[in-house]
Chains A and B, each alone.
Chain A
Amino acid sequence: MQALTNKSIAVNRSPMTIWERLYLINIIKGMVITFSHMFKKQPTVRYPEQKREFSPVFRGLHVLNRDEEGRENCTACGLCAVACPAEAITMEAAERQEGEEHLYREEKYAAKYEINMLRCIFCGLCEEACPKDAIYLSETFATANYTRKGFIYDKNDLLIPNTLTNATALAKAKGVEA
């Protein structure tokens, strides 16, 4: 049969020569190969101490963003929940009261905002759907948890620390994310 490519090599089925049947030479060849691997660079990332660099487009855990005055951007419009293919996002809207202008940027805000991290597929469609730049996918990933309930992240888990009142926490959060 004619070969389709010039890459195929016919299997050599000739009986082994006496040197091949001694095995020793081939065993020594193999041992040289394994020995040379002692000096190769290990690809291992020693995880808790070393962390692998994520690519800039990595889609990790969500954060709820604040504006430069530390006010929540989210207006609970629900577009992220609509966009979400996994139906992981739920929210409840509330109206901003008098004297809460320093907390929320617009008249409506999310009183409750929950993402079920067990359902989330980290597609980033919520990020794209958001008209208010309120939700972003960070570079951290979901940590382990003991219960299923623990994977339902609420506003406390998602909201980015306030730039003005809690700068150290923000710096810490950024340090972890970096």
Chain B
Amino acid sequence: MTLLAFDWAIIIEKLILIAIIVLTTLLITLYTTFGERKVAAILQDRPGPNRAGPFGLFQPLADGLKLIMKEEIIPTSASKWLFILGPGLAMTASLMTSAVIPWGTELHLFGRTIELQIADINIGLLYVFAVVSMGVYGIMIGGWASNNKFSLMSALRAASQAISYEIAMGLALIALLMTTGSLSLKTIVADQVAGNWWNVVYQPLGFLIFFICAMAECNRTPFDLPEAENELNFGYHQEYSSMKLGFYLFAEYVNMIMSSAIMASMYFGGYDLPFFDESTVAPNIAAIIGVGTLLIKIVLFVFLFMWIRWTIPRFRYDQLMNLGWKKMIPLALLNMLITGALILSKL
């Protein structure tokens, strides 16, 4: 029975943590869609949704209910299994990123020390990178399986966009790794909590590149070419209806939250509340403050995403490629060179 000599409590603990994180993420996502509509409205001098419940707070529930109640249509010419797989894959890939994000320090409950991170793997950043690039499969498969010209076109755009911007993203991350010396997100955040400055101070250009690439990876305006309404009829999810469409739309918002969490953790100190010494309060309270701080940072990033979306128009396809290959990649390489030179000069 040596195989079963295992700390079973940790499995339960992790399962509960996963459930909490996934459910919270989905709940926040619901209200991010509401936030998106409100932000758009306020930036355009409109009141936005305000009918369902106080201040329109039940609007996302109504939207969700509407999506579920709609007829589920699978086109006859579509490849059925891939068609169903697409949205599921998009959603799974975007939720999987949450596994390595350190949401806080640690809680002491029932005599146990609970890490507020699902898995502290030593290749955390590589994992994030791998999962993020898997996100494009959902769009690819969905767009291809729809058997529709516009959807296929959009899927191709999504794939080429993701590939182009992942390179710059990776190069920006390499520069960050050179300064932190660790791939584990927990270590990266802990270093920022212990040290004086957040990584964005050491890597401003790297952050900018990463931010732009994250926006491209999330298919957010100005990089929303895959779902360009006016050229491609909503692109890859044109043939989708009901909750399968809902999953695609949701996955975009989950992606946005996850990349905000990653950016907050890597460049903005994660759960670190600035000018506040965590050791002065009880560890449990410090952990809760940390989680709250990270959530606030995520909300700020999400607002930034929305703010940009409702300010600037979409890029043209050639502009997108120009920006990706001729500006982002050389800039990221330059950033790497400067970082390397500075590290060498300090040695």
A residues less than 8 Å from B46 (CB atoms): 42, 44
A42 to B42, CA, bound (A): 8
Asked if B338 is an interface residue, CB under 8 A from chain A, the answer is no
Q: Is the CB of A43 within 8 A of B307?
A: no
Shortest CB-to-CB span from A70 to chain B, Å, is: 42
How many residues belonging to A are interface residues under a CB distance threshold of 8 Å? Answer: 14
Asked if A85 is an interface residue, CB under 8 A from chain B, the answer is no
A41 to B43, CA, bound (A): 11
Shortest CB-to-CB span from B175 to chain A, Å, is: 19
**Which residues of B from 291 to 323 have beta carbons under 8 Å from A?**
307-308, 310-312
Q: Is the CB of B310 within 8 A of A34?
A: yes
Chain B CB within 10 Å, residue with most, of A31, A35, A43: A31
B residues less than 8 Å from A52 (CB atoms): none
Contact with B along A1-32 (1 / 0, CB 8 A): 00000000000000000000000000100110
Which of A27, A42, A43, A46 is in CB contact (< 8 Å) with B311? A27
Closest 7 CB pairs of A and B: A34-B311, A34-B43, A30-B311, A31-B311, A44-B47, A42-B45, A38-B42
Asked if B44 is an interface residue, CB under 8 A from chain A, the answer is yes
A79 to B219, CA, bound (A): 66
Which of A30, A33, A35, A37 is in CB contact (< 8 Å) with B45? A37
| Interface magnitude class on chain B | 10 to 19
List B residues at the A interface (Cβ < 8 Å): 42-47, 50, 307-308, 310-312
Asked if A40 is an interface residue, CB under 8 A from chain B, the answer is yes
Q: List 30 A–B pairs whose Cβ atoms lie within 8 Å, in order of A's numbering.
A: A27-B308, A27-B311, A27-B312, A30-B311, A30-B312, A31-B307, A31-B308, A31-B311, A33-B311, A34-B43, A34-B307, A34-B310, A34-B311, A35-B43, A35-B307, A37-B42, A37-B43, A37-B44, A37-B45, A38-B42, A38-B43, A40-B45, A41-B45, A42-B45, A42-B46, A42-B47, A43-B45, A44-B46, A44-B47, A46-B50
A residues less than 8 Å from B42 (CB atoms): 37-38
Shortest CB-to-CB span from B123 to chain A, Å, is: 33
Select from chain A the residue with minimum beta-carbon distance to B41: A42
A42 to B43, CA, bound (A): 10
Shortest CB-to-CB span from A26 to chain B, Å, is: 9
A31 to B305, CA, bound (A): 11
A-B contact sample (10 more), CB < 8 A, given A31-B311, A43-B45, A44-B47: A27-B308, A31-B307, A33-B311, A34-B310, A35-B307, A37-B43, A37-B45, A38-B43, A42-B45, A42-B46
A residues less than 8 Å from B50 (CB atoms): 46
Shortest CB-to-CB span from A106 to chain B, Å, is: 50
Chain A CB within 10 Å, residue with most, of B45, B50, B308: B45
A43 to B45, CA, bound (A): 7
Shortest CB-to-CB span from B244 to chain A, Å, is: 33
A residues less than 8 Å from B310 (CB atoms): 34
Select from chain A the residue with minimum beta-carbon distance to B308: A31
B residues less than 8 Å from A38 (CB atoms): 42-43
